[in-house]
Structure 1
Amino acid sequence: MRVGIVAESFLPNVNGVVNSVLRVLEYLKEEGHEAIVIAPGARDFQEEVPDYLGFTIVRVPTVMIPLVDSLPIGVPTTTVTAALADFEPDVIHLASPFVLGGAGMFAALQLGVPAVGLFQTDVAGFATQYHAGVLASVAWDWTRNIHNNCELTLAPSSAAIRDLESHGVDNVRHWGRGVDTTLYHPLKRSDTLRRTWDPTGRKKIVGFVGRLASEKSVHRLAPLVTEPGVQIVVVGDGPERKALQEALPNAVFTGALYGDDLARAYASLDLFVHTGEFETFCQTIQEAQASGVPTIGPRAGGPIDLIEEGYNGLLLDVDTFERNLVDAVRYLIDDTRHAELRANARESVANKTWRALCEQLMGYYAEAIEGYDRTSIHIFGRSIALPGWVRRARRKRGARTA
């Protein structure tokens, strides 16, 4: 199979969208499929990655949205359609489509190729967090346009599926995320690392891992600053780091960590707290659980599917998150139950492999290809017939691949 991937984010940036694309590419390589990635270019201070596992990476220019440093945007240019036309994909995979992915959607329509859209970023929620609530409805209108012009939309959680369907998105299927249970493992726990965070060796280590941006709401850890016997550790970097260092004066900030360094950090925590409510999935919760670490998350979005209350962690209502955080932490780190919670956390992700998830994805690709018979485009609630030249392109493609 030939898969054209249009990604809103890619290496050298690292985030949930990028990680899932990398796992898909690794699977495609192992199984002998062909792929191309179209993605934003690197920013000035970054070194651009020319390929991944031999798959070509086609870059478009990148711009930054003022005040939203966590969302670099790829500029949609004619390069998107031209690169896909040259590659001749069987299916187009839109990874978290919004701006560049919107161009990928239009390219799919022009080329007569089925598209599968993966909903991974709650742009409307981000707009609200950045005090741009007036744009949230516009964001949903555009999201609906993109996904209803795909053959299938894949969402990572039950909350995301409900959200999409309530906003008029059709043909939504569930596609979760795998986790590397070899990399993220309780055996990576390091007493040496813990001593660098807490020289006394007596405190419980409560940590957050992720990008330090407004939508992550890391400031919600503040009630733990004065909690005796607790050491806060924040793993990650981003535009909010300086403000967070002021809000959490006794916290350890490690900066961004990767690979084995990140795995050791996860496993060396006693408790993981995810603070933001705009996660369509929340892969960091799975990575913490794979590391044998109980988790706290908001009762919103992806964490609802990942945290089983009292078994591997606790969910806290968003409105009272900070008010209830200290009691939740005390409950989960209590020595009478902590060992059992750690074992349960590991067990809860034992069967969530990326290979199984990618095999499921291939089934969705096949479903989109088999059922493809698009004759119209959906624009802001209106159905418009595709022009004849698009239908002819589809027939030509069908004859070529038959």
Structure 2
Amino acid sequence: MRVAIVTESFLPQVNGVTNTVRHVVDRLIQTGHQPLVVAPGPGLSDYRGAPVVRVRSMGLPGYKSFSLGLPDPAVERALAEFRPDVVHLASPILLGAVGLRAARRLDLPTVAVYQTDIAGFARQYGLHAEAAVARWVGRVHRRSTRTLAPSRSSRAQLAEMGVHDVHLWRRGVSLDLFGPDRRLPELHSRWATRQDKVVVGYVGRLAAEKQVRRLTEVAKVPGVRLVLVGDGPERPWLERHLPDAKFTGMLRGDDLARAFASLDVFVHPGEAETFCQTVQEAQASGVPVVAPASGGPLDLVDPGRTGLLYDPSDPRSLGRAVTSLVADPALRGRLATAALAEVQGRTWAGVVDQLVTQHYGAVALGRAGTPLAA
């Protein structure tokens, strides 16, 4: 099968959209399919033998390192020349809308993957455009042949936008990379600074949409050593307000896996996650999780069994949840063990194979398929 992936983000940018596209392309190549990637901004023109078509872009205001794709006739030319069986729209917003229009002109079926709560993103950046953005995103998905959502919460978001025939497609986790065996006692000891300290960490972009300023609540918990893995525009503010925290910068590959596994507790403060991949990665690393009772984590955390959920509307809830884990090593162990068992079957190979057989195949053959059950 020939698959054209029009994505809002790709390497060298590293984020959830990029990582998902990368895993999809890896598996498509491994199983004998032919992918093409269309992406914004400068970067590589070939990924593992798959051509990458680069189109015009601009930096996101307030976050210049994030490239926004712009209307570009190169998108339609690339699709016309490649002649795909299906067009995969990865988190379609701007470039994805261009890809959708081109695909409709060329009479090509589309699979639109909802991955970013862009309306919530706009709210966090104070853009006062949440309603308009939601209408735009809803229109893109309604005009696509099929829409996939990563969680039941994101399905509900799409329903509010008028998108109702939505199918569930979750994310895989790299079980060959993340695991408890990656824990480095010497790294943990270096971070903890004292034997009685519990290392609590956040992994991800240091950006407003992740609500990382709430990590100041975690830093107030007695006995905590806070570690932040990642980078982004909020880092200067966090460094000023968290002088005792450890900032590692962005880590990848084995370094990232070792950092995850060397934590005692993982915290994610953002409540606008459609899935929250880092929760899965922490669980696969054998680390207990604290996440908001909102968005994607609702599907990933069984409260009291595979992690803890806190109430994001309660300014003390996050601190209480972290305190309960800091004070109870046995609880940390039980949550970590149950969560690790839960993620063992969630391989990227299985997830991408499902995408190909159940979703690409259905739209390419013109079959309606079965919508997401309640």
8 A contact 1:273–1:296 mirrored in 2: yes
Which residue in the other structure is 1:110 paired with?
105
Letter aligned with residue 9 of structure 1: S
Report the secondary structure of 1:292's partner residue: coil
The CA deviation at 1:224 is 2.8
Report the secondary structure of 1:348's partner residue: helix
Pick closer, same or farther for the CA change 1:69–1:276 going to 2, 3 Å: farther
Q: Tell me, which stretches of 5 or more residues in structure 2 are unaligned?
A: 369-374
Letter aligned with residue 19 of structure 1: N
* 1:244-283 superposed matches below 5 A: 244-283=238-277
Distance in 2, matches of 1:80 and 1:170, equals 28
Which residue in the other structure is 1:339 paired with?
333
Deviations 1:256-286 (CA, angstroms, capped at 9, x unpaired):
0000000000000011000111111000000
The CA deviation at 1:229 is 1.4
Report the secondary structure of 1:220's partner residue: helix
Residue 204 of structure 2, aligned match among 182, 205, 210: 210
8 A contact 2:284–2:340 mirrored in 1: yes
8 A contact 1:37–1:57 mirrored in 2: yes
* 1:212-361 superposed matches below 5 A: 212-320=206-314, 322-333=315-326, 334-361=328-355
Distance in 2, matches of 1:182 and 1:196, equals 26
Distance in 2, matches of 1:49 and 1:70, equals 16
Report the secondary structure of 2:222's partner residue: coil
Distance in 2, matches of 1:360 and 1:335, equals 38
* 1:113-152 superposed matches below 5 A: 113-133=108-128, 135-152=129-146
Distance in 2, matches of 1:174 and 1:296, equals 24
8 A contact 2:13–2:66 mirrored in 1: no
- Give the count of matched residue pairs: 366
Deviations 1:11-54 (CA, angstroms, capped at 9, x unpaired):
00111101111111111111111111000123xxxxx2221110
Distance in 1, matches of 2:130 and 2:221, equals 37
The CA deviation at 1:345 is 1.9
8 A contact 2:41–2:68 mirrored in 1: no
Asked if 1:12 is matched to 2:12, the reply is yes
The CA deviation at 1:171 is 2.1
Report the secondary structure of 2:130's partner residue: helix
Q: Compute the TM-score of the two structures, normalised by the length of structure 1.
A: 0.89
Residue 95 of structure 1, aligned match among 90, 93, 98: 90
Distance in 1, matches of 2:33 and 2:266, equals 37
Greater shift after overlay, 62-71 or 117-126? 62-71
The CA deviation at 1:161 is 0.5
Deviations 1:304-353 (CA, angstroms, capped at 9, x unpaired):
10111001211111111x41222211222312322222211211211111
Greater shift after overlay, 214-223 or 109-118? 214-223
Distance in 1, matches of 2:41 and 2:197, equals 43
The CA deviation at 1:64 is 1.3
Letter aligned with residue 119 of structure 2: A
Letter aligned with residue 137 of structure 1: A
Which residue in the other structure is 1:30 paired with?
30
8 A contact 2:279–2:297 mirrored in 1: yes
Which residue in the other structure is 1:396 paired with?
none
The CA deviation at 1:372 is 7.0
Pick closer, same or farther for the CA change 1:343–1:366 going to 2, 3 Å: same
Distance in 2, matches of 1:67 and 1:19, equals 23
8 A contact 2:111–2:148 mirrored in 1: yes
Q: Tell me, which stretches of 5 or more residues in structure 1 are unaligned?
A: 43-47, 374-402
Deviations 1:48-95 (CA, angstroms, capped at 9, x unpaired):
222111000000122012224464201220000001100000100000
Distance in 2, matches of 1:341 and 1:243, equals 32
Letter aligned with residue 269 of structure 2: T
Letter aligned with residue 288 of structure 2: P
The CA deviation at 1:148 is 1.2
* Shift >3 Å, 4+ stretches: 68-71
The CA deviation at 1:144 is 1.5
Residue 190 of structure 1, aligned match among 173, 180, 184: 184
Residue 79 of structure 2, aligned match among 84, 87, 100: 84
Report the secondary structure of 2:330's partner residue: coil
Letter aligned with residue 116 of structure 2: T
8 A contact 2:221–2:319 mirrored in 1: yes
The CA deviation at 1:198 is 2.0
When the two chains are superposed, the root-mean-square deviation of aligned CA atoms in Å is 1.4
Asked if 1:369 is matched to 2:354, the reply is no
8 A contact 2:307–2:336 mirrored in 1: no
Asked if 1:41 is matched to 2:41, the reply is yes
Distance in 1, matches of 2:221 and 2:294, equals 26
Distance in 1, matches of 2:333 and 2:313, equals 30
Pick closer, same or farther for the CA change 1:33–1:233 going to 2, 3 Å: same
Asked if 1:66 is matched to 2:78, the reply is no
8 A contact 2:39–2:53 mirrored in 1: yes
Distance in 1, matches of 2:18 and 2:67, equals 13
Which residue in the other structure is 2:372 paired with?
none
